[in-house]
Structure 1
């Protein structure tokens, strides 16, 4: 049994699906304190719990994860906890990892946040951001926790698992308990995983989907999809804008633009109802794939590691509107496969549909999993989730092709 703690829903899914591909039965749960017990694992080898703590303050995120990890620590036969962190280090990676270490009997943390399949690499303890900014990961863990974090250089990783294990044991003798690894390839992540397993101490794994990918052998899942595809875009990331453009040009897709200004200014019902009617019109005209996107998608936007409370409130309102639009559409149109871009968007779709999680099925492209919604009005419907910054320009094209090829 393995537990994964993630701070948003797309991250929960793109990490959990790595285990599913490795042959583990995997379920994603939206956090509910009452459900944290051994019973969570009755039908799944891996349970991924989305705490939705990315926008919280450091203290609130710490408190939430501490309580969750404390309960998980009492689950019998739990092999380890995997702390999923954002590959761009957004949110509260250090306080949340420290919360797990404080609330469990784990002695060390293995931090490998790189995701080479999506161009995220770490060298000299530093992450290179898409906009050419740098994030010193080792410094984050040293300054935002009370523990000693050390950077493990690529030269040490490349010496192999046994040598790396000995190097880490030497660092432990000098007081290190958080290891931040340089990583530029999947092979590096595999070596880190192998070395960690050789160390006879209880450990917390901490990374993005890249490290999870190395935890078993690939086992392809099979599933067929039918009905209408609604691609719901709540992310304003430039990568997503390029992906939407290519998808619309490739397949001549209709796009419903949701008026975010009306939603924020109090004309919520007008914006939502107009978007629902426009999407229904496209569906009735025979369109099998419809894109629903916020109208600010194509505006200039840069990556923000921590938004202000006002910005978070506005983003939440827009995300809620997208979930509401999906719910109203589902009352009239089914079967449906949903494609959600952005963690808040995916969360609100599940929230409005009354779903308590997803049973993961497959990974379409790196970082883009597909699963089956469980519970709620859309129980059994398929859903694809994608973080806003993930993927190449043709990622949505590949998602649509996958869904079309795998039709019943």
Structure 2
């Protein structure tokens, strides 16, 4: 069994759907598991945490707690999942968590593979690209919590760990799994703990996944999870069918709403597209720097001033506007305030009968899921690559779409909130 630990909630759903696509029966849990409730038959368990930007020591504590729980539930391999843009700060949290997991598991090595070609994230000669741009030239350099200003992944990771790091570049990856397995063994024998591996295609990820299939610790984004999942599925009982799809959307035609907190370029495009077609309310943290008051005003608008169904509540800002808010309130205070407001708004919307929530942004998704008390869910179909519907199993029945900031076509928010399944609109 594979046990995955994701550093945010959208990342958890992303890796869960990658395992599911590979044919693995996958369970997703939100937050550190509580108790020892019976679980349905599974090949993979994904535990989604909210550890990407918290204090490194607390991120390590939560991750080790989950790793111990997963091992107690027969996980042979731990998959540490982070973002395909390697979102982190100079002090962590990718390095500290990976170090702690490797020590706990007795892992002599761990591959590091942020590449996710499906989402246009590729790595060549150690440099991570977003489309045709280096990571450091992409909009990720303006991320409000984890600005990514360096594209060389061995260097970014090197600032977060004292362990030795080596690069296995694409010239070696092209030789396939046997060559990679030999290089992994050689690097470990030479004292390297982290093996940063290039990948520019799904075929590369399949070879890397096959080469690392017996490693006790693997780290990467959802792209490598697909390669690991495929290698794992190939070893299951011969003739077993891949995971079946849900017959239908179990929530059905219900009231919906969109909560957008991401400031990514794609989310801002999606917000603009939706604002032209739906009622929208902006959370102005500068004008009202109080989460309770912000939430109360938004819910009052929902009750008395919106004209149509499926509204949008958003706090997404362009980089210059975001900087103004951060200068006035502080980076952490602004983020905490808006996340708390979004959580309160989600609670209020559910109390008012909303049963379909589309949430844009990893931190916002974490705040919403936590506020609603959601602990587990069934993975449904994808509304966009890496953004599946989640149907809650332990609370009021809800359909949740937790979307990483840069995922999806421009119409995703407005399309998904109605539960529709039209084709994507090209960028």
User: Are the aligned partners of 1:82 and 1:204 in contact in 2 as well (CA < 8 Å)?
Assistant: yes
Supply the distance in 2 between the matched residues of 1:389 and 1:291 (Cα, whole angstroms): 18
Change (3 A) 1:76 1:322: closer
Where in structure 2 are there 5+ consecutive unaligned residues?
129-133, 142-148, 234-241
Residue 290 of structure 1 corresponds to which residue in structure 2? Answer: 311
**1:162 and 2:178 are equivalent in the alignment:** yes
Supply the distance in 2 between the matched residues of 1:299 and 1:126 (Cα, whole angstroms): 24
TM-score of the two chains, using structure 2 as the length reference: 0.81
For the residue of structure 2 that corresponds to 1:111, the secondary structure is strand
Alpha-carbon shift at residue 84 of structure 1 (Å): 0.4
Supply the distance in 2 between the matched residues of 1:124 and 1:240 (Cα, whole angstroms): 29
Residue 272 of structure 1 corresponds to which residue in structure 2? Answer: 295
User: Which one of the candidate residues 184, 200, 217 is aligned to 1:204?
Assistant: 217
Alpha-carbon shift at residue 203 of structure 1 (Å): 2.7
User: Are the aligned partners of 1:236 and 1:301 in contact in 2 as well (CA < 8 Å)?
Assistant: no
For the residue of structure 2 that corresponds to 1:189, the secondary structure is helix
**1:242 and 2:269 are equivalent in the alignment:** yes
Residue 257 of structure 2 corresponds to which residue in structure 1? Answer: 230
User: Which one of the candidate residues 313, 323, 326 is aligned to 2:346?
Assistant: 326
For the residue of structure 1 that corresponds to 2:263, the secondary structure is coil
Residue 370 of structure 1 corresponds to which residue in structure 2? Answer: 389
Aligned residues: CA RMSD: 2.9
Change (3 A) 1:193 1:172: same
Alpha-carbon shift at residue 170 of structure 1 (Å): 2.6
Alpha-carbon shift at residue 394 of structure 1 (Å): 4.0
User: Which one of the candidate residues 70, 73, 87 is aligned to 1:72?
Assistant: 70
Supply the distance in 2 between the matched residues of 1:76 and 1:368 (Cα, whole angstroms): 27
Residue 60 of structure 2 corresponds to which residue in structure 1? Answer: 62
Supply the distance in 2 between the matched residues of 1:366 and 1:388 (Cα, whole angstroms): 13
Alpha-carbon shift at residue 107 of structure 1 (Å): 2.9
Residue 80 of structure 2 corresponds to which residue in structure 1? Answer: 83
For the residue of structure 2 that corresponds to 1:175, the secondary structure is coil
Alpha-carbon shift at residue 144 of structure 1 (Å): 2.7
Alpha-carbon shift at residue 101 of structure 1 (Å): 0.4
User: Are the aligned partners of 1:70 and 1:104 in contact in 2 as well (CA < 8 Å)?
Assistant: no
Residue 144 of structure 2 corresponds to which residue in structure 1? Answer: none
Supply the distance in 2 between the matched residues of 1:186 and 1:58 (Cα, whole angstroms): 32
Q: Which moved more, 1:25-34 or 1:78-87?
A: 25-34
Supply the distance in 2 between the matched residues of 1:18 and 1:391 (Cα, whole angstroms): 16
Supply the distance in 1 between the matched residues of 2:336 and 2:42 (Cα, whole angstroms): 31
Residue 53 of structure 1 corresponds to which residue in structure 2? Answer: 51
Change (3 A) 1:13 1:104: same
TM-score of the two chains, using structure 1 as the length reference: 0.85
Change (3 A) 1:22 1:275: same
Where in structure 1 are there 5+ consecutive unaligned residues?
none
Supply the distance in 1 between the matched residues of 2:322 and 2:119 (Cα, whole angstroms): 18
Supply the distance in 2 between the matched residues of 1:27 and 1:20 (Cα, whole angstroms): 9
